[in-house]
Chains A and B, each alone.
Chain A
Amino acid sequence: MKSLADLKAIRDRMQQQMNLRDTEGDHIRVVVGMATCGIAAGARPVLTAFLEEIEKRELKNVAVTQTGCIGVCRLEPIVEVYVPGQEKVTYVKMTPDKVPTVVSEHLVNGRVVSDYTIGAAE
């Protein structure tokens, strides 16, 4: 440690990890349905894909969590994205291939990928 820049480098790197513990911050929440129906439909690889993609892009303000059955099991795997101050967006029939698009379009650029949403599937 020789300079403020060194200190800042450590701080930035660690803050990315520790943001997870900030429950009051304005995080985007990605919630993956992980009930039996979701897991059977392949929610686990979807969750893993999200984690990998978010790590690759070094996104700081995203928390990935799970939830139970939402009730539309036929459309699993379901992923809900909560951006603070906006209505939640529900993506259905997710696959690991669709994940990079959702991350880059929705999480990074704020554009909902309407092709994958529940509205498009209905």
Chain B
Amino acid sequence: MIRSHILVCTGTGCSSSDSPKIIAEFEEQLSLQGMENEAKVIKTGCFGLCALGPIVTVYPEGACYVHVTPDDVEEIVSEHIVKGRIVKRLLHRGEVDAAPAASLSDTNFYKHQRRIALRNCGVINPENIEEYIAVDGYSALGRILTEQVPPQKVINDIKASGLRGRGGAGFSTGMKWQFTHDAVSEDGIKYVCCNADEGDPGAFMDRSVLEGDPFSVIEAMTIAGYAVGSHQGYIYVRAEYPIAVQRLNHAIAQAKEYGLLGENIFESGFSFDLELRLGAGAFVCGEETALLTSIEGHRGEPRTRPPFPPNKGLGQRPTLLNNVETYANITWILNNGPEAFASVGTEKSKGTKVFALGGKITNTGLVEIPMGTTLRTVVEDIGGGVPGGKKFKAAQTGGPSGGCIPASLIDTPIDYESLGAIGSMMGSGGLIVMDEDNCMVDIAKFFLEFVVDESCGKCSPCRIGTKRLLELLTKITEGNGEPEDLDTIEELCNHIKASALCGLGQTAPNPVLSTLRHFREEYEAHVYEKRCPAGVCKALIQYIVDPSKCKGCTRCARGCPTGAISGAVRAPHIINQSKCIKCGACMDHCRFDAIYKQ
């Protein structure tokens, strides 16, 4: 009998830090130490604590080992599996002193979380449909099809749950299902599509769901097909997510093998088929009309709405398009009841939201919080705060379409309305934390560069407008900004917002507008004083040697790539500003803190 399960994370994060090698080593060690019939290695999806990966959890004790290397495996097997002694040095530090059976859910990182969309990530093996079935997988679809629950009843449940689109815009999912259900297709064909073209810099929620729990998306799409009257679905996933693509393909094949996808599912007469479409990585293809155009095989460019996809989508047929995370909530709602879902969250934003925490934060990783949780809880409690004793400055949500939340608004509850009110947006779930070393003008410029690169070029406000906007910001960061530039920027932003064709263009100025709104003094410092307060914009900073601290050790001069530092041994050195390229190497080399930026 298998008495121990060894769960190894095989999400993208942990895979890139050698989890496949760890799995191979476990298998070898288990057989070497004669444990292969007592312990089993299981691949899982993301546990969320990506900063501490690769992560290995051993049950029944529930011991969570972090930063595991292939060299640690022998010890885990011989100590933990054979002798039952937990290897304390590898435990997640949050539970070192805890009893062996202490649950991971008691750690600060998990305590404030509520896992609905991620309920199976890190719990089941995403490549085994039977494990998904064991956690109530396919019971929603089975019940609906065998009891012939009317499609309208399914849609009513989704409406009653209050679920809103997790792609970022927050449109009511139930309404979308209703529109697609009500739309008339001349030849009877309708489609159900899934937007897995996650393109925001720093966002990896959808990828983790697909890698850790692909069946929940597939089951939800099948249910959606039944509800809106469609027999064909497409998942549009980016080709840059090889593990997600491989698991999806595997999951679709397994679902077909078990008769849970294809013809006559549960002998109900209902048939549904699913195919993948790989995106080539254009950001604009995450926009719904561009995505559908791309599935059709055309160049991924958006078109004007209306007509909206529920009326005229893929191939001019009514099409339901939801985001991965939205689908991941569906079966939970149907199994636990819409009331249970609606009891989580705030009045207008129900349920939970997954965020990919990144940037200047201790616990980089994947978190799922009830709507209405404050940004402070996410950053300080779950995220473990800003590392290195630095001060929290702002958080960026919504990627290139979103905005910044300054430290003064850290107690803002995270929901669609509150974030919108302060000029940011929920977005798909990227949450980038910034500290005092980040220049907000530079951040705005970074996101704008991204948009300029990714603009499809179809409409001029986006193609030309964002380019001009970027030029203005570049001018400011190079120290050539003039006072009237700030007004021009604001005016241009508002024009782009009002006139761009698709959501990508309309939201592109958001990072600029929100930083201008909350950090105007930083822009003004660049323009009026030609100074970058955070010390990031190279044209506006100088490295200077403090003669009272310099011992004349010559380390900086030897480390300078351009020979800009001169001075005799044991005499204070001087940086020649005309030769200096502001790489900061001297500051790193100095042992006496004698070099500073200004």
Give the interface of A toward B (CB within 8 A). 1-4, 7, 10-11, 13-15, 17-18, 20-21, 23-24, 27, 29, 31-32, 34-35, 51-52, 54-55, 63-68
Contact = CB atoms under 8 A, between A and B. Distances in A.
Contacts of A31: 84
Contacts of A52: 1
Interface of B: 1-5, 7, 38, 59-62, 82-85, 101, 103-105, 123-124, 130-131, 133-136, 138-139, 142-143, 146, 258-260, 266-267
A18 B7 CA distance: 11
B59 A23 contact: yes
Contact of B101 (A20, A23, A51, A64): A23
A65 B60 contact: yes
Contacts of A35: 83
Nearest to A67: B84
Given A34-B84, A67-B84, A54 B1 contact: yes
Contacts of B4: 20, 65
Contact of A66 (B59, B83, B143): B83
B130 to A, nearest CB: 5
A2 B259 contact: yes
B263 to A, nearest CB: 12
14 contacts: A1-B259, A4-B142, A4-B143, A7-B138, A11-B136, A20-B60, A34-B82, A34-B83, A63-B3, A64-B60, A65-B3, A65-B4, A65-B84, A68-B84
A1 B131 contact: no
A108 to B, nearest CB: 16
A35 B84 CA distance: 9
Given A7-B142, A11-B139, 5 more contacts: A10-B130, A23-B59, A64-B3, A65-B60, A68-B83
A7 B57 CA distance: 28
Contacts of B3: 20, 51, 63-65
Contact of A23 (B2, B103, B139, B143): B103
Contacts of B83: 34-35, 66, 68
Contacts of A64: 1, 3, 60
Nearest to B257: A1
B59 A4 contact: no
A24 B2 contact: no
A65 B130 contact: no
Nearest to B42: A21
Contacts of B267: 2-3
A14 B134 contact: yes
B134 A3 contact: no
Given A7-B133, A18-B135, A21-B123, A51 B84 contact: no
B5 A1 contact: no
Nearest to B84: A66
Contacts of A68: 83-85
Contacts of A67: 84
Contacts, number: 91
Contacts of A14: 130-131, 133-134
Given A10-B133, A63-B60, A68-B84, A20 B2 contact: yes
Contact of A1 (B1, B2, B258): B258
A3 B136 CA distance: 15
Contacts of B104: 23
A64 B266 CA distance: 37
B38 A51 contact: yes
Nearest to B5: A20
B133 A11 contact: yes
A2 to B, nearest CB: 5
A10 B135 CA distance: 11
Given A65-B60, A68-B83, A68-B85, A21 B136 contact: no
Contact of B266 (A2, A11, A27): A2
B1 A21 contact: no
A115 to B, nearest CB: 26
Nearest to B137: A11
B133 A23 contact: no
B131 A18 contact: yes
A67 B99 CA distance: 13
Contacts of A51: 1, 3, 38
A7 B260 CA distance: 10
A20 B134 contact: no
Contact of B146 (A3, A29, A54): A3
A18 B266 contact: no
A63 B4 CA distance: 9
Contacts of B84: 31-32, 34, 65-68
- Across chains A and B, which 6 residue pairs bring their CB atoms closest together, nearest first? A66-B84, A14-B134, A23-B62, A55-B1, A63-B60, A51-B1
Contacts of B138: 7
Contacts of A55: 1
A27 B60 contact: yes
B382 to A, nearest CB: 20
Contacts of A18: 5, 124, 131, 134-135
A29 B47 CA distance: 25
A4 B134 contact: no
B148 to A, nearest CB: 13
A66 B85 CA distance: 8
A7 B130 CA distance: 9
Tell me which of A7, A20, A64, A66 has the highest count of chain B C-beta atoms within 10 A of its own C-beta. Answer: A7
A48 to B, nearest CB: 8
A31 B59 CA distance: 14
A4 B259 CA distance: 12
